[in-house]
Structure formats: structure tokens, C-alpha cells
Amino acid sequence: MNQDRNHNRVLDAIWGLDLDTLYCAQCRSVHLVSGGLAPEVCPVCFSSVTSVEAGNQSSGLRHEPPELIIPFQIDAQRARQALAGWLQASWLRPNEFNPELLSKRLRRYFLPLWLIDADVEAVWQAEMGYHYQAASFREHYQGGSWVSQQVEETRTRWEKRIGTLKRHYDNVAVPALEKHERWVSRLGGYDYRAYQPYSTSSIDASIIRVPDYAPDAAWMDAENAIDQIAARECMQAAGADQIRNWSMNATYTHLNWTQMLIPAYVTWYREGERYYPLWINGQNGHIDGVKLMSMSKAWLLAAAIGALAVLCFLLGAVLSIIGIGILLILLSLFSTATSGFGQHKTKP
Amino acid sequence: MTLKRAFQDWTPPSGFVQVTSQVPGIAVYAPAPPEEKKTQAQTFRCPQCTGLITYKAGDRQLTCPYCGYKQEIGARVVGLSAERFEFTLETLDRSEKGWGVARKAIQCEACQALFTVQEGHLSTTCPFCGSPRVAGYESLHDFIRPGYLIPFTVDDSNCRIRVSEWLGKGWMHPPELRHVNTLGRFTGIYLPFWVFDAHINAAWKAEVGYERTKQHYRDGKWETETVIEWKWENGQVHLPITNLLVYGTGQVSTTLLERLYPFDLRALVTYDPAYLAGWQAQAYDIQLKPAWEIGKHKMREQAKDACYADINSSHVRNFSMTADFNNERWRYVLLPVYLSTYTFNNQTYQVMVNGQTGAVAGQKPVAWLRVWLAIGLCLTPGVLLGLLGLVLLFFGGLGVVVLPLAFFLFIIGLVVAVTIFVRAAQAEDI
């Protein structure tokens, strides 16, 4: 653990806040931490983190500014309540897996998305599908007469369209993390339409994940995303209902990369030597994490049950021995009594 | 940079036209719609002598009757590959309307038939009823324009020969018909027809009876009895029906029209107003929907017959079926027919000639004396033999043998007589 604060003045200027920069050598993730509350461990892999030296460009620090942010709709209080509710059904929990400790460790966390602006000039072609209603017929014959039925079906007429496109696309969202889809899926999805302009107050006392991908690496995704939007717009321009075999020969200019931040909470607990993170979606409260049972508590419980079982067995054994003894005594008494009565009867 | 230049230098390929875009910054080009010939109404005039030029039957060109000028017609033979349309309102709207050529609409005041003639031509008689009382009518803008037609290949002089031959045929008609000289002018007219296609998947269910013979031993001897054992069966029939013709006009006898069948649809050409030059044409008065009802009725009956054919027994009861129509399509075509009339004994009769094959159908007066004589002749053997049988019954009982034979002959004679009567009535009353 290394909590040396080391400011990157360029970054501070971009983000408008004093930020600590933390680098995890294990998972190679980089985080920015505001409010001077740097975490003890990496929130992703729970290895020790080191501070990034000022001006070290090879560390993965990004200088693209944040532009939009999806604000927290679940405040810390509601996140704690959600966490307590989520824990309620668990038993044999590890000592650290309790609402109080987890709430104490709860930190605001932002995941990054790239936003790209671009001017696009293109020549496109596609097959556009236009829906139309067609009538089909069904005739039923029974008892010497026919009954007619008309069935209306929606069919698609495909027509070729070509054209040009000269459009500016603003804030096209593209994954900035290698496992973005997995992250979003674990956190139960986000409504990206709920964004607001970035403000420094919105990231106060938060951990901010720095993109894994550089813009160059994210360009392919960005191009696909822009193309998809362009295809949708071409379909709309042609007044069509469906589109297929779409292709575009395009130039992309005036590219501008910024970031969008999506909110989450992170907390963690430890069982043995391992760390277990819990993630809470800051927009809808969805919780993701492992509900672990404490092995030591489980063993203790098993030992208690085992001891009780042994005790019961011993008690049973003792009672059985006593019972058999009593039975033997009774049998011998009975036998003695019956033999004495028989002799007395035959002698006269 | 190359791409940028490609965008700036880009021009739409030929055959594409710009259409309305609903998004600014996006230009959309679509294949150009087929030429609207409707807006270029043509009057076919000779470029040499300015006389009206006409299409000559059997020829693929327009000919000027005054100076002999000839002009090729550009229409191509499409045959059975002629485009078919689905049953949608949109398709109907897409269909071009009007004739695409300046034509004059005429209505007969006597039979109300509606037909068109080329601009500059005046029809003095109605091709349907021969009445001279015809009047101009408002233009025919609301009609679907025909997509295809079969050009005339039989000329009117050939028609006259064929009809004369046809009139001379048949013993039940007056022999004077052979020499009738009141045969009017043959008016070549393109009549409207709907052509329907469909694929029918029919599922049937019925109780099917199978004959079984049983033997009983009764009163010391074996008796054989045939019984029918019924069991429920079901099956499926897939029936493609193509090129079913349904007439698009109710102005002419549909029975006569159907007697002109078949038309060889392999000779269909794309509609070109030039083929109508000098000819009359009738717009449909039976709309697509009622015409489809007629076609559908015929198709479902065919499907029902196919289902019955699928059953391996003649004993069927509680038959039910469901016919699912798929891939229903229609075409609107014009087929060539000559119409004419002739008078016989002060009565007018209609006659038609298939303008493609030369087949003749029409009304023919009947020599009823001949018909009744023929009917009498048919019945005579049975009646006479029956009388003989009755006589022989009193003399030695031979009549027992003769009477059944007489009855058999009478029944045969009756069937033939009825057939003759029906045919005679039909020939006159169509």
C-alpha cells in the first residue's frame, strides 16, 4: 500500500480538482481519487496500489476531459439500506461481511466511457425495407357451405437506396474499458440518456477509473458506433421501416474525444486472505457481489452439531446398556420363579 | 483524402433519382420509377401524311392505311413472366392509371357498355349489341391501367370466313344460316381480364367408407352381404393454381367468353398503346375485388375436387376442409376478341371470335322442328319396343324379355333427348 499523494497538475487542471493518481501493478488499472481518500487497495483486484509519478505518460493516464456524467440517483444512505437488505438473507456470514463495516468502506466510484464527436462525409447504399399490409385468404368448407376469412399480413418490400451523408455526430458513447460490457452487465445496466454536464462537485470524494483503451484503440468501436447511428439515420431519411446490406464509404474528421462517467458504489470484505468486492449501481441500486459463508463459522457449527451427535450417541449407548441389564435381570427372575413353581407342583 | 474527393465528386448512378429525405444532411436516391406514359398521351398519326395509323392484326408494327408508312412497336413479349401483383391497396395505388394514350370513351345508350376508341375515331355502332346509339362519356381516369395484352393475330376477313363456317355447322340450326348475309362488321376489341395465381394448402377431414363383404350362413346356405365401414381420415393437398382467367367485364355474355378460352398467355406483351391504335378497348367494369371473389370461388372448388381425389373411396360423408391461400397474385390484361352481330328472321344474334386463336362462339338460332324430330327419334325405339313387349306379354310371356330392353333403350333415348334440348336452348338463349 502506498498512499503517497502525487499530483499531476495537468490532470488537476483538466478535472478541476486535486486528484491523486493510483496505479495497480497487478491489474494495471489506473484510478483518480478525489477528496484525498485514496483506498487502501485497488478496488478492482485488491492488490496494493502505488501512486503514479507526475508527468509519467506511460502509466495510462488520459488527458481527455470529462464532458458528461450520469449523476448518482442512489445516495449513500439508500445504498447502505440496499446493502443491508441484500445481506439480510445471508447467514454464517464472515465477520467482515456485516452492514456496518461494508457501509463504512462504501466509496463512490465512476466508470468511464469514451465520447466521440466527429464530422462524417460519406456515400452510402443499402436495401430499405418498407412495411405494407397485404391480404391473404382462408376458405373453410363444412356442411356444404363455404366460409371466407381475410387475413391481413404485414410484409416487407425491399428497395435499393443510395445517397450521401454529411453529418456531425456529437457524444457517441464507446466503451473505454476492456471489460466494459461485463462491468455494465454485472451492474444491471445504465440508462445513458440521464446524463448531465460534468461538474467538479459531482465527482467529489470519488474514485474514478481511467480508461483502459486509448482513443486509437477505441476507434474501431467508435467507427462502428457512428456507422450504426448513420445507418439508422439513413433509414429514417429514406422513410423506411427496416434496413439491410448497409455499407458506407466515409471520411471522419474533427474527431474530439471526451469522457462520460457512470456511477457506482464499491465496498469490500475479507474472508481469510481473500478480498471480495461488492458493487452497487449508482443509478438503479442493483447490487453485484459474492455472498460468502464464513468457513470458520461453518466448521464451528459443524463441530457443534457433531459434538451434539456424539453426546446423543453416548447417551443412547448408556441407556441401551442399562436397558439390556434390566431386561436380563427381569428374565432371570422370571425364569427362577417359573422353575420353582413347576417343581412344587410335581412333587405331591 | 481520396475518400473525401470521392464524396465531393460523387454523382448518383444512372437510373437513380433523388427522393425526399427526412433527415437534413442525408441525400437519398431511389431507382427512377417507370416512365409515366400517361402524361405523354399519344395520338398515332402518320409522320408522312398525318393520317391516323393503326395496328394491323398479326403484324408487330403500325401501318398507315393511306400512304403505307410502317412503324415498329417497341413492346416486348413477356409471356408468363409478366409481373404479378399482391393484393394490397398500396399496389393498387402504385398501378398506373388511365390508358396512357388519348382515347375517347364511349357508352352505349342501349346496353350501357363502356368502351374506348382512339381519338379521332367515332364508333357508330356498339360492338356488344350493334346499337347505333352511342354517346361520349367522361374520361376513364379511375381505371387501373392494363399491364399486358395479347395483340390481335387474326384479321377481320379471316373472322368472316371462320364465322360463316361456324354458322353452317350443326344440324339443329336452320340451313339458311349457311348463306346469311347480314353478318355485320367485325369490331376488334381488347376485353379486360384478370389473371389470378395462388398456391393453396388444403387440409381435409372426412368420414371415409370402405366396402367390406361379409358372409352369413342362414337357412342352410351361405349369403354374401356388402357393408360399408366408416372411419375418420384426414389429409393435406398442395395445389398451385396459375393463370386463372376471370373476365373483367359484365357487358358481354360470360358463357360465350369462356367458350373462347383458352388464350395462350405465353404471347403476352407489355402494354403499349400502339397495339390499341385503330382498335377498340374496354375498361373493366368488374373491379379487382369482385373478380377475385369469382376467381377464389373457382380455385376453392378446384381445391375441394383435389381433396376428394385424395380420398381412396367413393363413400365420403361429413367432409370438411380448410383452404389456405398463399402467394396470391393478380394481373390485369387485355385479350383480343372480335365482336359482331347478325340478324336472322328479324332477330339480332351476337357472335365472338378469339382474336388470337380464331375460335368462334356465339348465339345461333335453332330449327326447333328439327330438334323436336330428333328428340322424337331418340325416344321412338324405346317406346315402340315397349309397346311390342306389352303385346308379347299377352302372347306367350315373351314380353318379359323385351320389356326390360325397351326400358333400357327408352332411358338412353331420354338422356340423349334431354341433352339435345339443353344444347339447343343454350345455343339460342346465351
- Each residue of A106-125: pLDDT tens digit? 999 999 999 999 999 999 99
CA–CA distance, A83 with A293 (Å, rounded to integer): 16
For chain A, domain boundaries: 62-120+164-216+249-293, 295-348
Shortest distance, CA B88 to any CA of chain A (angstroms): 5
Interchain CB contact of A251 with B (< 8 Å): yes
Q: Sort A51 into a burial class: Cβ within 10 Å, 0-12 / 13-18 / 19+.
A: buried
Residue B246 has a CB neighbour count (10 Å cut-off) of: 22
> In the structure, what pLDDT confidence band is assigned to residue B143 with cuts at 50, 70 and 90?
low
Interchain CB contact of A134 with B (< 8 Å): yes
Put simply, the answer to whether B4 touches A236 (Cβ < 8 Å) is: no
Put simply, the answer to whether A239 touches B20 (Cβ < 8 Å) is: yes
> In the structure, what pLDDT confidence band is assigned to residue B110 with cuts at 50, 70 and 90?
low
Residue B234 has a CB neighbour count (10 Å cut-off) of: 13
Q: Which of B13, B28, B86 sits opposite A161 (nearest CB)?
A: B28
Q: Which of A134, A141, A237 sits opposite B321 (nearest CB)?
A: A141
- Phi-psi region for residue A290, left (φ > 0), alpha (ψ -120 to 50) or beta? beta
CA–CA distance, B73 with B189 (Å, rounded to integer): 19
Going by their DSSP bridges, the two strands A66-69 and A242-271 should be labelled as parallel
pLDDT digit string, tens, across residues A219-271: 999 999 999 999 999 999 999 999 999 999 999 999 999 999 999 999 988 88
Average pLDDT, chain A: 86
For chain B, domain boundaries: 2-37, 38-198+237-365, 369-429
Contact (CB, 8 A) for A164 and A183: no
- Reference A11, options A40, A34, A41, A44; nearest CA is A34
pLDDT value for A345: 47
Cα three-residue angle A203-A206-A207, rounded to 5 degrees? 120
Give contacts of B30 with chain A, Cβ < 8 Å. 159-161, 238
pLDDT at B3 > cutoff 80 = no
pLDDT digit string, tens, across residues A9-18: 777 888 888 8
Interchain CB contact of A242 with B (< 8 Å): no
pLDDT digit string, tens, across residues B190-244: 999 999 999 999 999 999 999 998 888 888 888 888 899 999 999 999 999 999 9
pLDDT at B137 > cutoff 60 = no
pLDDT value for A4: 41
pLDDT value for B195: 93
CA–CA distance, B273 with B96 (Å, rounded to integer): 13
- Phi-psi region for residue B15, left (φ > 0), alpha (ψ -120 to 50) or beta? left
pLDDT at B325 > cutoff 60 = yes
> In the structure, what pLDDT confidence band is assigned to residue A54 with cuts at 50, 70 and 90?
very low
Question: What is the mean predicted confidence (pLDDT) over A285-300?
Answer: 84
Question: What is the mean predicted confidence (pLDDT) over B50-54?
Answer: 78
Q: Which of A162, A166, A237 sits opposite B16 (nearest CB)?
A: A162
Give contacts of A132 with chain B, Cβ < 8 Å. 88, 90
pLDDT at B162 > cutoff 60 = yes
Chain A residue with minimum CA distance to B10: A123
Question: What is the mean predicted confidence (pLDDT) over B250-254?
Answer: 82
pLDDT digit string, tens, across residues A1-48: 343 445 567 778 888 888 888 888 888 888 888 877 777 778 888 877
pLDDT at A51 > cutoff 80 = no
pLDDT at A53 > cutoff 70 = no
Question: What is the mean predicted confidence (pLDDT) over B52-76?
Answer: 79
Question: What is the mean predicted confidence (pLDDT) over B377-385?
Answer: 91
CA–CA distance, B289 with B297 (Å, rounded to integer): 12
pLDDT value for B122: 44
Identify any residues that bridge with B199 across adjacent strands, giving them in sequence order.
Answer: B240, B326
Contact (CB, 8 A) for B349 and B363: yes
Tell me which of B4, B5, B7, B316 to substitute to probe the interface with A (most A C-beta atoms closer than 10 Å): B7
Q: Which of A121, A138, A167 sits opposite B323 (nearest CB)?
A: A138
Shortest distance, CA A186 to any CA of chain B (angstroms): 37
ipTM of the complex: 0.74
Interchain CB contact of B89 with A (< 8 Å): yes
> In the structure, what pLDDT confidence band is assigned to residue B298 with cuts at 50, 70 and 90?
very high
Q: Please state the separation of Cα A316 from the chain's center in Å.
A: 53
Shortest distance, CA A245 to any CA of chain B (angstroms): 15
Interchain CB contact of B20 with A (< 8 Å): yes
Q: Please state the separation of Cα B359 from the chain's center in Å.
A: 12
Contact (CB, 8 A) for B416 and B378: yes
Interchain CB contact of B90 with A (< 8 Å): yes
3-state SS class at A15: helix
Give contacts of B87 with chain A, Cβ < 8 Å. 134-136
> In the structure, what pLDDT confidence band is assigned to residue B68 with cuts at 50, 70 and 90?
confident
CA–CA distance, B117 with B122 (Å, rounded to integer): 7
CA–CA distance, A229 with B366 (Å, rounded to integer): 79
pLDDT digit string, tens, across residues B405-423: 899 999 999 999 999 998 8
Question: What is the mean predicted confidence (pLDDT) over B68-87?
Answer: 79
CA–CA distance, B79 with B61 (Å, rounded to integer): 19
Question: What is the mean predicted confidence (pLDDT) over B115-119?
Answer: 61
- Reference B244, options B322, B188, B325; nearest CA is B325
- Those residues whose C-beta lies under 8 Å from the C-beta of residue A2, and which sit 6 or more positions away, are A48, A49, A50, A51
CA–CA distance, B189 with B350 (Å, rounded to integer): 14
pLDDT at B37 > cutoff 60 = no
Shortest distance, CA A157 to any CA of chain B (angstroms): 11
pLDDT at B39 > cutoff 60 = no
CA–CA distance, B385 with A311 (Å, rounded to integer): 122
CA dist list (Å): B113 to B108, B130, B209: 5, 11, 52
Interchain CB contact of A77 with B (< 8 Å): no
CA–CA distance, B108 with B80 (Å, rounded to integer): 34
The residue behind cell 467529489 is: A204
pLDDT value for A341: 57
Is this prediction's pTM over 0.80?
Answer: no
CA dist list (Å): B83 to A123, B80, B265: 32, 8, 13
Put simply, the answer to whether B320 touches A142 (Cβ < 8 Å) is: yes
Q: Give the relative orientation of helices B368-394 and B399-429 as an angle to the nearest 10 degrees.
A: 170
